[in-house]
Structures are given as C-alpha cells and as structure tokens.
Structure 1
C-alpha cells in the first residue's frame, strides 16, 4: 500500500512540473506591451531678427550737484537771526546763513580808517605847496571818505614824484592794511552762495565758533547727479549728452537723466570707468538709490531671449517637425536676465521657455491657448 501511494505522489509531481514548465514558457512568448509616446507641450517663439538696443545696467545714489560745506574763517559768537540755523531750512541766494559777533573787529576797522584819513589830511598842506596839480583829486578823495562805508580806492598816481611822496608818508601801506581788515570783517557774515536748503547744522545760536570749524552743509535741491561705474568693455559706448532712463528700486518711478561727464581714466583696481548722470525732478532727494539703463551699441540682425534658454555649449533648442534639435548661436551681450544672440535664421522656431529634461530628439508640440467659450 505504501508503495502505491508513493507512486501516485510521484506521478502527480511529474504532472505538476509539466504544467508549471509550460506556463513559464508561454509567459516568455507573450508580446511586450506597446508604450504610448509622450509628447511634451512647449511654449514656442518665431525668430524675427532686427535691431536690438543694448542697455548697460548701473546703479548709484544721488548727491546734490551743487553742495557747500560751511566753515568759519574767523572766531566769534553765533548771533541769533530771523531764521533758525536748522536742517531743512531754505535760504535764497545772498541771504545770510550765519552772523558772528564782530564788534571787536569792527572797532579795529574803524580805527584803521581813522588813521588812513588822518594820514591823508596831514599831507594836504604839503600837496598844496609842492604838488598843486594833484591837490584837488586828493581833496576830493577826503571829501568822499565815509567812516561808515568801505574805504574808496586811492587816486591814481600821476607821476613818480607823487608816488614817492605818498608812499613815503605810509599812506599806501595804511590803505592796504585797512582793506585787509575790511576783507576779514566781511567773513563774520556767511551768506548763501545760491538758493538752496541746509542739510546739516553743527552749531546753534550762542555757540562760540572757532576759526576752521565746520558749521554745516548747504545744497541746491533742484539738480542732482549720480555716479555710476561701468565696465571698461563699454567705455567706448558712453557719450556725454546721452539720455539715460533711471528707476527706483521698486521700479514704480521712472526719471530721465543725462550723462554730463565721463572720467578720462579707468580705475586700476576694479577696471571700471566712472560716468556722472544729471537728473532733475522735484520728487527726488539726496541719497535716493536709483538704477540706470544706459543705451549702448545697437546690434543689427540679432534677437534677445532669456539667458536660461542658452545652453552651455552656446546652442539653443529649436523645433523641427515636432522634434527638438539644437542650433549653434553667437551671443554678443549678456545682461542679468537676457542674452542677445546672432546666427538664428528668420522663421526658426525656438523654445520660449526652458523645458526640464529637454534633449535633442524629444517629441514636442506647441502650446495652443484654448478659446474662451
């Protein structure tokens, strides 16, 4: 009985092995499933070569074109005036900014005037006797002499003898000593050289001002200039009088500037050249940071595309019969986001936006916007 059971189990095992082998053979002979071809949808653009205006980016902050640092050349007490000496205060041209107490120096000037007058008056009798021909002009000078006004210019010497006589009495030296004192007296009042606004005030009324001390800063807020540094590569593109577009950091305001000056030398350290842009606008203030787009060379038969469309080997993807291909190009200018290319024939279809994982031979189809129903 045992032998019969074992024989049956062996026959069953053989039959099972046969069917298992057959199923394995059949599975190998099954045809592989056909995968659907994936066609990527892409944004395209058609090449239309033309003139591309190259714009050179630059940036800088505004400073007043006319600014004055106010220093004192004399010493004295700062006298209070009708207008407070404070930042933001406006002054017209010629208006006094600062008045210092000059009473002591004024007395010295008056004393020197009196000495000059007395010196001339003392020689009048001698002039009447020895030089009657010049007596009247010196008499007229004395008559016009006013102690409350600046001393008038001495009469012209008509002869060498007259010159020796007048100089020998010390009149000429007294006159120039007086003019020196009068000139110094004028420094006790500092006037506005032009209409503008005070941006810095370092002293207040009643302060003892010393000679050589800085008192503040004064600017003309009607015109500003911006200093920008441009790569030496574009030095030949900078032209005085060229219009420049300026924008603030938020790109919300646009201003028009003009290149007023270009430095004649290149910075050895940075290899850049400095240009100065003038700009006028009532909304601008000193210190505002602006970005400039300076017009450079105009490239002919060129096209401007995004920088990320240019491949490392200076090629771009184009589309031929629904398949991606590459074409060599010649880049002529790079900006932060754009590149100017030459060498693409008109009518060439190229990608408008980069495609992740793109390769030559990839099947693509152009994106078509659906019409609104």
Structure 2
C-alpha cells in the first residue's frame, strides 16, 4: 500500500514540474525586432526655368544638287577624245563628254541641205518674174547659205501669195526636214551641261553605243543636298533658309547648311515630312552620311531633362522634405535622349538621375559632394 502511494506522488510531482516549466516558458516575452529604415541617396537638381533652344535631329546621305544621267539617243561607235571617259574625270562646262562617230549621218544631213539649196535656187527665176519685190531677200538667203554651217532661218513670208508659192514648191517642208536632221546630228556629241565630275562610266572608247543605252552619271561636286524625313509634328517648325549644323558620324568635322526646300505633303505611310538641306564644302562627297541639327524654335519658361526621368502619364519625381513625390508636367518636345518640359515651378528639387525601384513616398537624401563643398 505504501509503494502505491509513493508511485502516485511521484507521478504527480513529474506532471506538476512539466506544467510549471511550460508556464514559465510561455510567460517569457520575446522582443520584437526593429526594422532598419533604408534611406537611399539620390542625385538631385534644382529647377530654374529658361529659354530652351529646340533642336531637331535628323540624318541622311548627300546627293549632288545638280546631277545628270547620261543616255544615248543615237547609235554609233564611241570615239576617243582628249580625256578618258572614266569615273573621277573632271570636265568644264561645254566640254565634250562623249563623241559618237557620225560620219555616215553627217553625209545624209549635208545631202538634205544641198537639196534644200537646190530647191530654192530652182524657183529663183519664177520669183524674179512673178514676185520681183521678194527676189532680193531670197537671193540674199542663198548668198548666206553655207553647207558647212547651220542652216539659216528662212526669210519671213509677208503675203499669202508668197506663202502659197513657197509652200507649193516644198521649200518649207524641206527646211524643217533639214533642221530636224541637224538637231539629231547634234546628239552625236554630248557636252557637259555644267562644270563637274564624272561619277559613273558604263562605256569605253571604241565600243558600240546603242540608242537608249545609259552611258554614265555626271555631277556638280560644289553643292550637295541631304534629304531628311521628320515627324509631321515638326512641320510647322521647319522654315526655308533656316541654318543647319551638320556633322559626320565620328563628329570630327562639322559643316553649316540651310533648309533649301520643304515638301508640301506628308507621307501617308510613315506620317513624315521631307526636308532638303543644302550644303557646300570641298571635303564633302556624294553618298556621305551626315547628322543634322535643325534649330526649330526657342521655347520660353521650360527645362530640359533626360527622357529616362519621365514617368507614365506625363509625371516626374520631385523631392519634398526627403520624400519622393510626383508632379504633373507638360512635355513640349522629345529628342532622342532629352525631353523639354513646361509647368515645373522654379526652385523645385527634381531627380537628376533615375533611381531603381523609386516610388512616391520613398525616403531619400540628396547626394552632397563634400569635395566640391570644401
């Protein structure tokens, strides 16, 4: 009996110790961890509105303002001249570019001129008898007629009788036939319409040239044009005569041009407007790729910031009492990397560089350059 009582007392003591220990453990309060406030350092700038010069950037390749594609209108053998017909060859205005052998055709022209002379000479006796008042002018025409020169213009017909008489003898039709052949004979020689340089040569001396065949290209290297396509939003900003700064892709050389023409219609497919920039420089070559900066207009009371700082719905971040906030702005011009804004009050502190994960209400502190401050 005694052993049973002792066993029961031991069990009760163990159970009581367990509950006391659990109560003591549960009664201990764990201290809550305090979250560290993270304050990001940001680069800021203070707004000061000013007049912003809006510059439209565009690019394109140069094309000679005056260029001629040379085509043959007659057939014959290409005769060699004083200069080789090769790319890079320079020619002065009026100098022969191509001479085509016209000996055979020249003979037929001379034959037609001779027939005209003979036709007029044959009617001179009738003119002396029937129209004595006209004899002197027609005799003077024959005296000035030279087979080795261009056929002179026929004397002026002053009466219906004279007109019927001359026309009935076929003089007028023969005259215009000769003039037509003389015009065609002139096409055997192609001369330079202006001083320039040959950029393409598709034939060589001694080769057979066919009618309609392309012979080459000839340009004036003193003046070039660059065609650029700009958004239709800038159509009202473009003005003929505006100065344009041009530079090569390496930005090692710059040139000054001007807007020479602006297309009056907008491309329906791309919704762009075409402008032409004229530029002259001895270092320029056709086909060179240049970048252009067109001074469009001056925008007063505006600022210019990086496009990376723009938020959706035309907003930007500002700093107020070390807290990020957003304000509405009015963008008036977008370039490739910048945006011009209005409606930003002077003295407003804005972000100068984007902040990853930024949000309205975020704690920040402006960066202070201690080196410059000292």
Residue number in structure 2 paired with 1:338: 338
Gaps of 5+ in 1: none
Aligned: 1:70 with 2:61: no
- Evaluate the alpha carbon distance shift between residue 98 and residue 37 of structure 1 in structure 2; reply closer, same or farther with a 3 A threshold: same
Distance 1:154 1:301 in 2: 75
Distance 2:74 2:95 in 1: 19
Distance 1:360 1:158 in 2: 97
**What pairs with 1:271-286 in structure 2 (closer than 5 Å)?**
271-286=271-286
Provide, for residues 286-335 of structure 1, a one-character-per-residue CA deviation record: whole Å limited to 9, x for no partner.
12222223333433322111111122243222122233222222223222
Gaps of 5+ in 2: 1-5
Provide, for residues 161-203 of structure 1, a one-character-per-residue CA deviation record: whole Å limited to 9, x for no partner.
3333333222222222111111111010001111111111111
Distance 1:85 1:232 in 2: 44
Residue number in structure 1 paired with 2:357: 357
SS at match of 1:156: coil
Aligned: 1:239 with 2:225: no
Provide, for residues 222-273 of structure 1, a one-character-per-residue CA deviation record: whole Å limited to 9, x for no partner.
1111222222222222222222222323333322222222222222222222
Residue number in structure 1 paired with 2:48: 48
1:94 positional shift: 0.8
**What pairs with 1:87-166 in structure 2 (closer than 5 Å)?**
87-166=87-166
1:71 positional shift: 0.8
Distance 2:359 2:137 in 1: 103
Distance 2:52 2:210 in 1: 60
SS at match of 1:371: helix
SS at match of 2:172: helix
Question: If the length of structure 1 is used for normalisation, what is the TM-score?
Answer: 0.88
1:45 positional shift: 0.7
- Evaluate the alpha carbon distance shift between residue 101 and residue 37 of structure 1 in structure 2; reply closer, same or farther with a 3 A threshold: same
Distance 1:212 1:323 in 2: 77
Residue number in structure 2 paired with 1:184: 184
Question: If the length of structure 2 is used for normalisation, what is the TM-score?
Answer: 0.88
Q: How many residues align?
A: 370
Residue number in structure 1 paired with 2:221: 221
Distance 1:143 1:327 in 2: 94
Provide, for residues 338-360 of structure 1, a one-character-per-residue CA deviation record: whole Å limited to 9, x for no partner.
12222211011111011222233
Alignment RMSD, CA only? 2.9
SS at match of 1:165: helix
Provide, for residues 123-179 of structure 1, a one-character-per-residue CA deviation record: whole Å limited to 9, x for no partner.
233333333332222222222221211111122224333333333222222222111
Larger mean Cα displacement after TM superposition, 361-370 or 334-343:
361-370
1:207 positional shift: 1.0
Distance 1:260 1:211 in 2: 36
- Evaluate the alpha carbon distance shift between residue 150 and residue 349 of structure 1 in structure 2; reply closer, same or farther with a 3 A threshold: same
Residue number in structure 2 paired with 1:289: 289
Distance 1:362 1:130 in 2: 114
SS at match of 2:371: coil
Residue number in structure 2 paired with 1:298: 298
